[in-house]
Structure 1
Amino acid sequence: MMRDADVSPSDQIFLDLPQENDPSNSRMLCYADIPPSDQHENASDLDEHLGSEVLNGIRLSESLITFKEVTSIEKFSIVVNGLALDSELSKHLMAKYYEICCSQGMFLHEHLLEGQNCKLVVGMICETINIADAIRASKITTSSDTFAVWYKSLKGLEIFGMNVSFLLSRLEQLMSLASKSKRYTETRIKRDKAKEEKEVLELKLEEVKETISRLDVVLDTQNLNPERLEAEFEDLANIPW
């Protein structure tokens, strides 16, 4: 039986993420954890040897089929390193994963790096399903930080061998559109602010124009000549006492 202590730091990247079918709450019995003396050559021998607990949990796959042979969800099985992991996912998650695999015409886990433990594999599959759902539910207003988290997780899954290139491609397109929308929104806000400032300045300009016009009327009404006033002032100032 697998223990948390057996999980490497790299595995923990996916195991710490919340899942609908939390792998940490499942009974993880991997073929690699069974002592060599207890390993049997076929699934029926293993089931007979280990009893009903294996029948209700992870077990050796009786056969290995290609995705082309999967004609319905009943024939869909998640097999990694010869072990069927179907029991570790709820029916809901199995159905979602089946739909995603069908959309790509292949098992997304088909090229996982060899030697991955069962708990990590289940975690990666659940994370793939979660991100796929999140991408489909995302909005153009979804934050760039959220997109970045999904992107980083998908790149990590890709390193382990999960086929998530189609999700990365879709996410990159959405990120590009969201970025353009954000820039447009920011530019529009700046323009609207500039227009408001212009309106304030135009209003102020109208007030200044009105003031100038009013003062022009006052000056015209007084009908005074500055040069003549200056001359009269000097004449008056110079008159003898």
Structure 2
Amino acid sequence: MVDRMVKKEVEQHDEQTVTLGFYGDEQAQRRFSINMMVTNGEAQKFASSMKATTAEATSSRGEAKSSAVIRAEEIRSSLQGEYPSFVKSLVRSHVASCFWMGLPVAFCKKHLADKDTTMTLEDEYGKEYKMKYIACKTGLSAGWRQFSAVHKLQEGDVLVFQLVEPAKFKIYIVRADNLREVDGALSLMNLDSYARQKQREKENPENDALDASITKKKPGKSVAIDVQKKKASKPGHKSVQPAQSENDSEEAVSEVFEGFRTLDFKDVKGFENFSIIVDGVVLDAEFSTEVRNKYYKLCYSQRAFLHENLTRGLNYKLVVGIITETVNIADAIKVSVLATPRFDFSNWDKTLLAFEHMGMNVEFLRVKLRRLVSIAYETDDALETRRYFQYKNQHSRADEEIKNMESKLEDLKGACKDFSAYIKSLKQKAETHQNKFQKEVAAPW
């Protein structure tokens, strides 16, 4: 139900002037006065018309969608014909929950690749967004959430997809809310021509009749008034509904099954098709190829994405750190030995437990750690095995000391030999010098 109804009244009408008051919400009351040269009868007729069309202001959101679709179809018809295009109305699953954008099956089979690929979406400002196209499900998955969030898409908005390259769409956005605002502004510009239009109708009964409609506006925004020219119709003639876009036939099925169109690990055919996607954002660029390859092998061992149940809304840097550290711990487990300290096993398990609390599927690694700890430290042979390694290490250290001492002894022996040769050379010189001194001593006075 509409929270606030647009109130209307004909405050005054005479042969010269008709004044209409339009009231919005409590935040902004606006009054528009329209001076027209009309008779009393015409003023009454116009007031009755406005009263009858007030009900249209409380129309369902589906009618607003139809207006947006019509505008989108107009945009599509103005595009270059050599590039295929289609119109897509947004439903809840496109902008909330699973964030999956299903595309028309016929269009995909005719114009898009028959295998998974990376598609580019370019908005009206030329900014490009990369996302994953799943061929078997004819839809956009990884990356669509980012596009939806950046452009603040809402249920009821309409997109025009134009395929400008084999793997690139140009996107035109028609917003349901903005459409009503634009229509209201245009209507206010046209209201002052009401009297002239009525005068022309008198002169030529076949001229277009004026149909005024007041469209409901959300609280907090100005009242929107939509006045459209329609062809005069015979009594009882029903208005023609706008033509459906080519994907309307799929819309009902799309809304039912959108929630189930999530990428399963079984759809990943190999490492080249493997992407790390968290909350609809592709994080492949945050990892080295080596880390991604190791993480893919871990996921493949469990036939599931280990991160698929991570708590929503986590900082992406934290998610990257969790995945990277999981890979590092898995590598450390693979190279662990019986002599690996129990402290290391304990630290790894505590880290993995923290990741598990945040939704990371690492239970299989923790099970592996518990088995290794049990074998290395808790079995009957564990004590003897540890003693063996302890004594072996002590023996190795003693043997190393012996080798060091032997090496030092050899060095000392070599030094002794060098000193012996040097001493011999010095001895001869010393004796010669000593004899010279003694001769001088023994010489007569």
The two structures have a TM-score, normalised by structure 1, of: 0.54
Structure with max Cα Rg: 2
CA distance in 2 between counterparts of 1:50 and 1:123 reads: 33
CA distance in 2 between counterparts of 1:137 and 1:113 reads: 31
Q: Which residue of 1 aligns with 2:143?
A: 60
Unaligned runs of 5+ in 1: 1-40, 190-241
* 1:47-196 to 2 correspondences below 5 Å: 51=127, 60=143, 64-179=262-377, 180=379, 182-185=382-385
Which string of whole-angstrom CA distances, capped at 9 and with x for unpartnered residues, describes residues 125-144 of structure 1? 00110001100110011001
Shift of 1:178: 1.0
Return the letter of the residue paired with 2:348: W
Which string of whole-angstrom CA distances, capped at 9 and with x for unpartnered residues, describes residues 66-101 of structure 1? 101001111111111000101110111111011110
Which string of whole-angstrom CA distances, capped at 9 and with x for unpartnered residues, describes residues 166-189 of structure 1? 000000000111103542346779
Shift of 1:117: 1.2
CA distance in 2 between counterparts of 1:134 and 1:50 reads: 46
Q: Tell me if structure 2 keeps the 8 A contact 1:60–1:82.
A: yes
- Cα gap change, 1:126 to 1:187, in 2 (>3 Å): closer
Return the letter of the residue paired with 2:298: I
Greater strand share, 1 or 2?
2
CA distance in 1 between counterparts of 2:382 and 2:126 reads: 58
Greater helix share, 1 or 2?
1
* 1:202-213 to 2 correspondences below 5 Å: none
The two structures have a TM-score, normalised by structure 2, of: 0.30
Q: Tell me if structure 2 keeps the 8 A contact 1:78–1:86.
A: yes
* 1:198-237 to 2 correspondences below 5 Å: none
Return the letter of the residue paired with 1:183: L
Percent pairwise identity: 41
Alpha carbon RMSD of aligned pairs, Å? 3.3
- Cα gap change, 1:188 to 1:75, in 2 (>3 Å): closer
